[in-house]
Amino acid sequence: MKIVVDMNLSPEWIRVLASSGWSAQHWSRIGKGDAEDDEIFRWARENDHIILTQDLDFPQILFAAASGSPSVILLRVDNELDEKVRARVCAAIAKASAKLLTGAILVVDRQRVRLRELPIKPV
């Protein structure tokens, strides 16, 4: 599994994800720091990467595009640097890995973890 870490998250996630066995790159090593979300979205899809972010725009882009990729891991946590949060995120990714590889959005917040397969369909 290959993950691109959005600019709104610490580059420290690279080490955290690598320690769980996943390949990860921080967007700052790939593109411009002020890149539009559409550019990151397009790059992730073209390069078969999952997006790790705190940005609510990515689920909106997925919905608007009715797209089945790229998968998105959306963090809705208070402190992304907290070790317990990181362990919880990695456990959620591991549990959802099969769905993330085929197209899904994984939301990890303070109280729960939600997984939804892509494309997102209107209710």
The per-residue pLDDT for 123 is 63
Q: What is the pLDDT of residues 87-115, one digit of tens each?
A: 999 999 999 999 999 999 999 998 999 99
Coil, strand or helix: which one is 72? strand
What is the pTM for the complete model shown? Answer: 0.95
Nearest to 72 by CA among 89, 53, 90: 53
In a domain, 123, yes or no: no
Residues in CB range of 52: below 8 A, 6 or more apart: 3, 4, 5, 6, 9, 13, 17, 24, 73, 75
Q: Which domain holds residue 34?
A: 2-117
The per-residue pLDDT for 112 is 96
Whether pLDDT at 116 is above 70 = yes
pLDDT band at 120 (very low <50, low <70, confident <90, very high): confident
Q: At what angle do helices 57-65 and 37-46 cross, to 10 degrees?
A: 60
In a domain, 82, yes or no: yes
Whether pLDDT at 122 is above 80 = no
Share of the chain above pLDDT 70, in %: 98
Q: 73-98: buried (b, 16+ CB within 10 Å) or exposed (e) per residue?
A: bbbebeebeeeebbeebbebbeebbe
Domain tally, the chain: 1
